[in-house]
Amino acid sequence: MAEISSQSKPGRKGFSKNRITHRSTRVDLTPMVDLGFLLITFFVFTTSLNEAKGMDFLEPKKGDEKIVRESGAMTFLLSNNHRLFYYNGQFEKSKVKETNFKEVRSLIVNKKKTTELSFLMYIIKGSDSSTFGDSMNLIDEMSISAIEQGHYAEVDITKEESIFLLEAK
């Protein structure tokens, strides 16, 4: 609690006794500290922390097949050193083109615009030397481009595609 103590100094010669006396104040801050800790405790207990959100990932299973036109399929091949290749339809060495992660969003959106949605499919294939981060970046681009799950999946790379990526180094 606050207390005010009044002490008068003894008078000096020649001064009147009705002189203003100096008062000193002392404030006890213990209740304020207690209140501060109570507020901190209240906010810590009532605040909800953000929970980690996981991204659902679609991997096709045996018998879980979707009919896709060859013109509606776009395949991405992930290679080492953050290299990214793509092709439309069936794999042919002459149809494979290289791109980068800056241009991949426009490729995804253009394919979405030119293909009927029921036949649209993006296939992601990573080589043994590709990184998990590259795969996640590509999946993020799918989410940003508003591609629904079921229209993209990660599948195993074929032997021919692996040989192509080794030769592309």
pLDDT at site 69: 80
pLDDT for the residue numbered 76: 93
- In the predicted model, residues of the chain with pLDDT beneath 70 are 1-22, 54-66, 169
Q: What is the pLDDT of residues 122-147, one digit of tens each?
A: 999 999 889 989 999 998 998 898 88
**Predicted TM-score of the model (pTM):** 0.62
The architecture in CATH of the region 70-167 reads: 2-Layer Sandwich (3.30)
How high is the pLDDT of residue 27? 81
Give the model's pLDDT for residue 49.
76
**Residue 114 near residue 88 (C-beta atoms within 8 A):** no
Close Cβ partners of 134 (under 8 Å, ≥ 6 residues apart): 78, 82, 84, 101, 126
Question: Within a 10 A sphere around the Cβ of 125, how many other Cβ atoms?
Answer: 21
Q: Is the dihedral of CA 82, 96, 124, 117 positive or negative?
A: positive
C-alpha distance from residue 131 to each of 23, 71, 128 (Å): 74, 28, 8
**Token couple for 108:** 């995804």
Separation CA 88–CA 71 (nearest Å): 7
Question: Domain ranges in the chain?
Answer: 70-167
The confidence score (pLDDT) of residue 84 equals: 92
**Tokens encoding 135:** 């795969």
- pLDDT given at position 87: 93
